[in-house]
Structure 1
Amino acid sequence: AILDVEKDVKAVAVVYNETSTGVTLRSLPDIGKITRKKGILLIVDAVSVLLGDHLPVDDWGIDLCVAGSQKCFACPPGLAMVSVSEKAYEAAEKNKFRPFNHDFLLWRDFKARLETPFTPSIPLYYALDEALNMLMEEGLENRIRRHTICAETFYKTFENLGLEIVAKNEFRSNTVIVPYIPENINVDEFRRVLREKFKIAVAGGVGKLKGKVIRIGSMGVVSTYEVLATINGIIKTLKMFNYKPKNKLKKIVLEAKETLSQLKNFKF
């Protein structure tokens, strides 16, 4: 509706996977249909989710999709990957004030002769090349499925423990899981115990969720071992804070293992 009122909008920018809440924008395909119909550029921040969830860039009408090497690519940090549509190139060509650093037209020209416009980080290129080899061995659909299964395991476990999840079912992220911690437990102290006793590091909340939630990154090479270790650490830490779970712990752990058993034939 706002695009019908604001006639001079050139682009719409959205975050596909919001990491402070663990919410994934499931309406992204519909947004793409609208921007495509109106001839507006669609810019998507997919840093924390590309390869961890479905994102058919062309089918969804995404003109600029931005990702990072350090998340679901399972690669060292330091590289940004940006896909650029023909519509985005055309918009860049019409721009009278071309940027110095992020000039897509300049990058396109250098790409044609297999060069980069500035000195690249060669070690990171080699790391990315190997990360992509690993992706090809695992398969894109398998990688997305692995992230989905790991996330499902976390969500089922927290529900069985009686912990509420910030995101509603239909918007839950495959890569960032954000459960509320019981009000009578100090979140900073909870994170400290989890880190020092069990060597599991989780992030705290930000903004209005600060002091109320923990944030678990489940991406990259995360699989059965890491998920179970994290669940085990969280359960034991909750127990140290005298938290009484909704269901019996044995049942919770068995159900987590059963969900993760779907990964037994995966290659990664």
Structure 2
Amino acid sequence: MLPGPTNVPERVTRSMFTPSINHRSDDFVELYEECVNNTKKIFDTQGDAVCLSASGTGAVECSVVNLIKKGDKVIIPVNGEFSTRLAQQIEWAGGETIRIETEPGITPTYDQVKEAFDNNKDVKAFYCVWNETSTGTMINYLDRIKDLTSRNDSYYVLDGVSIVGGEELHMDKWGIDIAMTGAQKTFACPPGISPICVNQRTRKYMEANPPNTMYFNLPRYFKYYDESKHTPFTPALPVLYAYREAMRIMLEEGIEQRIQRHRICSEALYSGLSAIGLTPFAKEDSRSTVVIALNYLDGLEDKIFRDTLAKKFRILVAGGFGNLKGKVFRVGCMGEVNGYHVMRCISGIASTLSMMGYDTDAQAGLKIAEDKLKALPKSC
């Protein structure tokens, strides 16, 4: 129950057990072309898709080094570890960040973003971390940002590393210029592939203003794909096979159904864990549907709690980052998580708390979660 890497289906694992192929062969073209086309379906875009052999952070950095130049102004909401890192990456690239800072657990509002645009007419881009996994928060007004970026044709860049495929995304309809994710999150794939999608106007800008980098040079990837359906550098072939299989599973389930499953399981976890006496860290209107961050009960020792949960019940959850270390723990609700995982997680957490001397109402938590899960298809 981690917020990534997530559980990997056996079918995806088996797909990696294949003889190594030549990445300049027809076999590779067949593999990579399907990966690109299915990535575009999941992002809901007609733009270009590049399946980078990198972590999610690599895909985020790729977006920065290809778009941001010295002196560019960038508006970015900052309310946790990963949005802070993104702001740093923009500054290291020479950009000037206009940070909309809020306390962890609270997402900046649309009005705060609008105010930043009102006060800065010459911004180059708006960057945002859609799902801040460090605090269990998520931005829920992505479809309204284009009303602001369209004022001066500024770029709209979405860091969706931990949530694309688990929540609704319409890249072209919402006016998003660049978006990326990590395969080890809601795609339920091993780490190592991070797709990035770019629309046509942004591609033209990048080609006219190429970055001073080799590996993350997106115009180079565009050129190789156009000419031969290849990548400029050797990709992580076994994980690329896994990525293809993971997307096949996603599309078989149906993206809308998959998103609905994530939302229902998330609601069951929030309700069930609250009923046993825990409180969510994030404010209600800022809460993520794929990462549930919970406050520790008074006196509850982080390491002992998580170690007990792992050893006695074989359930892994994540601790807090930075100033939140020892104050919160985080439950992932992404990828293959279904009703079974939800019920077992609530039961295991309640039992662990009881073993550590805390009074919990496990039955109340399981009952309310079970009621929420009735909305799931029978297959879940």
User: What TM-score range do you get, normalising by the shorter chain?
Assistant: over 0.9
How big is the shift at 1:96?
5.3
Mapped to 1, the partners of 2:222 and 2:210 lie a distance apart of 18
Instruction: For 2:373, give the aligned amino acid.
Output: L
* 1:78-122 residue CA offsets vs partner (Å, 9 max, x unmatched): 011001012211221331544322222221111122111111122
How big is the shift at 1:263?
2.4
**Which residue is equivalent to 2:42?**
none
Contact 1:151 1:174 in 2 (8 A): yes
**Which residue is equivalent to 1:221?**
336
**Which residue is equivalent to 2:8?**
none
Mapped to 1, the partners of 2:201 and 2:172 lie a distance apart of 11
User: Could you say if the C-alpha distance between residues 253 and 99 of structure 1 is closer, same or farther in structure 2, counting changes exceeding 3 Å?
Assistant: same
Mapped to 2, the partners of 1:215 and 1:122 lie a distance apart of 32
User: Could you say if the C-alpha distance between residues 166 and 98 of structure 1 is closer, same or farther in structure 2, counting changes exceeding 3 Å?
Assistant: same
Contact 1:181 1:213 in 2 (8 A): yes
Q: Does 1:54 align with 2:155?
A: no
Mapped to 2, the partners of 1:197 and 1:9 lie a distance apart of 52
Q: Does 1:177 align with 2:292?
A: yes
Contact 1:205 1:212 in 2 (8 A): yes
Q: Does 1:259 align with 2:354?
A: no
Q: Secondary structure at the match of 2:295?
A: coil
Mapped to 2, the partners of 1:134 and 1:149 lie a distance apart of 19
Mapped to 1, the partners of 2:337 and 2:345 lie a distance apart of 11
Mapped to 1, the partners of 2:215 and 2:150 lie a distance apart of 27
How big is the shift at 1:7?
4.3
Q: Does 1:151 align with 2:266?
A: yes
Moved more, 48-57 or 7-16: 7-16
TM-score, length-normalised on structure 1? 0.93
- Equivalent residue for 2:232, pick from 94, 101, 117: 117
Instruction: For 1:73, give the aligned amino acid.
Output: F
User: Could you say if the C-alpha distance between residues 147 and 241 of structure 1 is closer, same or farther in structure 2, counting changes exceeding 3 Å?
Assistant: same
Q: Does 1:77 align with 2:230?
A: no
Moved more, 256-265 or 16-25: 256-265
Instruction: For 1:177, give the aligned amino acid.
Output: I
How big is the shift at 1:198?
0.9
Instruction: For 2:138, give the aligned amino acid.
Output: T
User: Could you say if the C-alpha distance between residues 226 and 96 of structure 1 is closer, same or farther in structure 2, counting changes exceeding 3 Å?
Assistant: closer
**Which residue is equivalent to 2:102?**
none
Give 1:133-152 correspondences, 5 Å limit. Answer: 133-152=248-267
TM-score, length-normalised on structure 2? 0.66
User: Could you say if the C-alpha distance between residues 263 and 5 of structure 1 is closer, same or farther in structure 2, counting changes exceeding 3 Å?
Assistant: closer
Q: Aligned pairs, how many? A: 265
Q: Which runs of 5+ in 1 are unaligned?
A: none
